Amino acid sequence: MPTRGKMFTPERATEMLPLLRIILRDALQLNHSIERQRDQIAGIDRMAERIDHPSYRDEVHDIRVTLADEEAKLEQCLLELTELGVTPHLPLNGIIDFPAIVNRQPACLCWSLGEDSVDYWHAPGQAPELRRPLPRKTLGTEKCL
């Protein structure tokens, strides 16, 4: 169910984590596989003049087909996340932002794969390395921060 345009509370964001973990793990696996395949193709392309054998061409073709399929699946994962109203950090690093209000200002609740709950935030456009803990007085409430 799309939640585009809604603001998240830490509690609501945390409730979504089981689903987000599944999607994000799939996306990270696909992303890693895509990077490996791109490296393989680049290496083979550099050797293309020396390797002009049908079996190598077939292998490169198979890699390119698999790569295109996995790129489409990764795009689908990213679309699912967007439709849920969240934003994955790109390049894909296992961190997701949830639109929110913190201290009466637009903000991003920030969660990283492996964390049990959504306990951090940062200003829109800021790198996740600059995230900080949510203000204590707002934790445990259902209101926007």
Contact of 47 with 123, CB cutoff 8 Å? no
Choose among 6, 12, 26, 5: nearest CA to 80. 26
Which pLDDT belongs to residue 141?
Answer: 43
H-type alpha helices, 47-120? 54-83
Domain parsing of the chain, residue ranges: 1-145
Which pLDDT belongs to residue 6?
Answer: 84
What's the Cα-to-Cα distance from 123 to each of 18, 39, 54, 64, 140, rounded to whole Å?
25, 35, 54, 39, 21
Q: Cα–Cα distance between 107 and 95 in angstroms, integer?
A: 15
Which pLDDT belongs to residue 90?
Answer: 92
Which pLDDT belongs to residue 46?
Answer: 76
Each residue's pLDDT tens digit, 97-121: 999 999 899 999 999 999 999 999 9
Q: Which backbone phi and psi does 2 adopt, to 5 degrees?
A: -65, 140
| Mean pLDDT (whole number) for 68-92 | 96
Q: Is the dihedral of CA 72, 74, 78, 81 positive or negative?
A: positive
Of the pLDDT bands very low, low, confident and very high (cuts 50, 70, 90), residue 60 is: confident
| pLDDT > 60? residue 74 | yes
Q: Which backbone phi and psi does 97 adopt, to 5 degrees?
A: -110, 145
Q: What is the mean pLDDT of the chain?
A: 87
Q: Cα–Cα distance between 25 and 7 in angstroms, integer?
A: 24
Which pLDDT belongs to residue 2?
Answer: 38
Q: Cα–Cα distance between 74 and 24 in angstroms, integer?
A: 10
How many other C-beta atoms can be found within 10 angstroms of the C-beta atom of residue 24? 23
Residue linked to tokens 């990077």: 35
Q: What is the pTM of this model?
A: 0.82
